[in-house]
Chain A
Amino acid sequence: MNLRSAAITLCGMLLAAAAVLWLFDRQISGTWFRLGLQPEITSTLEQSLADQKSLARLDPERRDEYHARFETTQTLLNHLRILEHNRTEIARRWEMILLAAVAAVLAVAGGAHLIRQGRLDARIERLRVALVALSAGQEDLTIGDRGRDALSRIAGMIEETSRAMARDRKRLAYLKNLSGWQETARRHAHEMRTPLTAARLELARLERLLNPDDLEGARQAAGSVGEELERLGRFTQQFTSFARLPQPRTAVHDLGTVVEEFVGTFASAWSNLTLRFESVGRPLPASLDRDMLRQVLVNLCDNSSLAVRAQGEGRGTVTLRPGEAGRTVCLDVADDGPGVPLEIHSRIFEPYVTTRQVGEGMGLGLAISRKILLDHGGDLELLASSGAGTTFRLTFPRQAAEATA
């Protein structure tokens, strides 16, 4: 606690209290006291006594009445004389009462001030400790100051900053990993594309040199080899796509409108899925690349469709629900499929992580999707997953409404 400021405050309070005390005593209570005991009142009452006696002598028939008045006046006069005799003591007692009252008020105010100051100091100390932890790189700090004043707001900002730092670190680590995977994919693609091209050329030359007696069988075998090579070519194309993801060309769009258009266009794209759009009922301006967002949504719906198919012949529903989350605009994509196995929740966005059978996919879709969202300045998260379905959340930076394209 700042003792100097506390001492100054205390002195100020004491001076103010002394001034109020003096003013009240001299100008208010003292005035009434002087007024009540001024000598003119006593002399007037004495004169009244003499008058009552004179009246009694002059009007003997009403003697009792005058006598009664005389007694009343004399009693009042006696009271005033006794008060006058005790004037100093009464004034002193009154000053003591005022002083005690002021002292009590000051004590209560001072005590309350000290308690408040102590609590304030403790809160400031917690903030200081949190700032030290933040500067040391500690993530996800919880200060627990849930008031409405400036200190609570500062505590909230420190907590928010620590959470933002944690998010940024995770993104950075993810992007570093992803960059490594992308380089690997690029090398794989390059290494595979060269022999693939050579094999195709050799296969074509082989066709031309085949025996004319069994041309049809040889053509079928060569066609089959060619199909396999094509499949291998598409496979390497995925590596290429992952390795050479373009930067998004963003513009401000109403997220709801974009999603609604997607649902309209792709309503029948998956035979076992029903797409459902839930409007939030107000514009949600976000900075995004429509084509890349469509790519992400197609990927998510592909995954849902495959997951539903893996369950059997039934149909599934994918619900697209735009909304707001804190300072961001978000889109929740929820399906009612079998859910993501718990053991891969933490790794689901890593490349080559997949639940599908070998040959059904490389496990790059979600990695590509998250990279796209991160390049937008947002993120892709697995919000929830259970046997009743899976929900992914796409977040975008919020934009001012008037800038909507």
Chain B
Amino acid sequence: MRRAPARWALLLLLALVARLDAVQPPAMEMARDGLALKALPPILAEAEVRKQLGTGLTTSFVFEITARGASGEKTKGAARVDVRYDLWDEVYIVTRFDASGRAARTTLPSFERLAEWWREVRLLAIRPPASAAARSAVINLRVIPFSQAEQLDTQRWFSQALSAEKSGSAGAVSDAVEDQPESFSQVINLLLATSIGRTPLLEYQWSLALPQGRKK
């Protein structure tokens, strides 16, 4: 019983350290065009993300927002940023998708410019009128290391490699992922190929109270 205060102090210290180590959440802005994200969290500097961005694969940053109104009603929204580093030209190709319905593509010459773009970008998450009633929001951010197209391409390649078929005749070979399996081995190949998934590299979640009465 004498050690109880020390134990509490240790737990408090650990909680403080964890709080300091936590990634800063994005800011939410209630505007005329809806609920938007801005000042995105500085996760590009995270070692894993930085390394992933340099691979040449398309890294997707998927924001999912669940907003709650005063009476508890839920509204969902989403936005996504795809970043691919072109290893030949050594530029970052950034594509932004948000609730505005437009895909905006940008080419950035360096990581610093990318980080700058990341800080300044504004992503519309929920459009009016649903956004108007929102009082709080839960934001999920998933960092996915490659795109769906790259996933399918790898599944196809893996399936063909398992079938021991020549890559030179890729146009003629049966595609175990898309075609009907004709044999037991094809079923096995299909099962193995479909185990290639887009599991997130990192995941974050924040709960925020939304600012009220400041419509621009």
Could you tell me which A residues sit within 8 Å of B by CB distance? 49, 53, 67, 70-71, 74-75, 77-79, 81-83, 85-86, 89-90, 92-94, 97
Contacts and interface: CB of A to CB of B under 8 A. Distances in A.
B96 to A, nearest CB: 22
Chain A interface main SS type? helix
A78 B57 contact: yes
Contacts of A71: 88
Contacts of A53: 87-88
Contacts of B191: 93, 97
A81 B55 contact: yes
Given A83-B154, A83-B158, A89 B195 contact: yes
Contact of A79 (B88, B158, B197): B158
Contacts of A77: 55-56
A133 B87 CA distance: 91
Contacts of A67: 88
Interface in B183-199: 188, 191-192, 195-197, 199
B145 interface: yes
B87 A74 contact: yes
B197 A89 contact: yes
Given A77-B56, A89-B195, A93-B191, 13 more contacts: A78-B55, A79-B153, A79-B158, A81-B55, A82-B150, A82-B151, A85-B145, A86-B197, A89-B197, A90-B192, A92-B195, A94-B192, A97-B192
A82 B158 CA distance: 10
B92 interface: no
Interface of B: 55-57, 87-88, 145-146, 150-151, 153-154, 157-158, 188, 191-192, 195-197, 199, 201
B146 A85 contact: yes
Contacts of B57: 78, 81-82
B192 A93 contact: yes
A81 B145 CA distance: 10
B70 to A, nearest CB: 42
Chain B interface main SS type? loop
A78 B195 contact: no
Contact of A70 (B88, B151, B188, B201): B88
6 contacts: A53-B88, A78-B55, A79-B153, A81-B146, A89-B197, A90-B192
A86 B195 contact: yes
Given A49-B87, A74-B56, A85-B145, A79 B195 contact: no
Contacts of A86: 195-197, 199
A78 B197 contact: no
A75 B87 CA distance: 11
A36 B145 CA distance: 20
Contacts of A97: 188, 191-192
10 closest Cβ pairs, A-B complex: A93-B195, A82-B154, A79-B154, A86-B196, A90-B195, A89-B195, A79-B157, A82-B146, A78-B57, A74-B56
Nearest to B157: A79
A285 to B, nearest CB: 63
Contacts of A75: 153
Nearest to A52: B88
B199 A89 contact: yes
B64 to A, nearest CB: 21
B48 to A, nearest CB: 11
A71 B196 CA distance: 22
Contacts of A85: 145-146, 199, 201
Nearest to A42: B55
A97 B201 CA distance: 26
A82 B196 contact: yes
Contacts of A74: 56, 87
Nearest to B184: A101
Nearest to A74: B56
A78 B188 contact: no
Nearest to B88: A70
Contacts of A90: 192, 195-196
A76 to B, nearest CB: 8
B129 to A, nearest CB: 41
Contacts of B197: 86, 89
A83 B55 contact: no
A343 B81 CA distance: 109
Contacts of A89: 195-197, 199
A356 to B, nearest CB: 83
Contacts of B56: 74, 77-78
Contacts of B55: 77-78, 81
Residue from the set B57, B146, B150, B195 with the largest chain A CB neighbour count within 10 Å: B195
B135 to A, nearest CB: 38
Contact of A78 (B88, B150, B192, B201): B150
A70 B56 CA distance: 12
Nearest to B188: A97
B87 to A, nearest CB: 6
A82 B88 CA distance: 20
Contacts of B192: 90, 93-94, 97
Nearest to A70: B88
Contacts of B151: 82
A78 B196 contact: no
Residue from the set B56, B87, B153 with the largest chain A CB neighbour count within 10 Å: B87
B172 to A, nearest CB: 19
Contacts of A82: 57, 145-146, 150-151, 154, 196
Contacts of B158: 79, 83
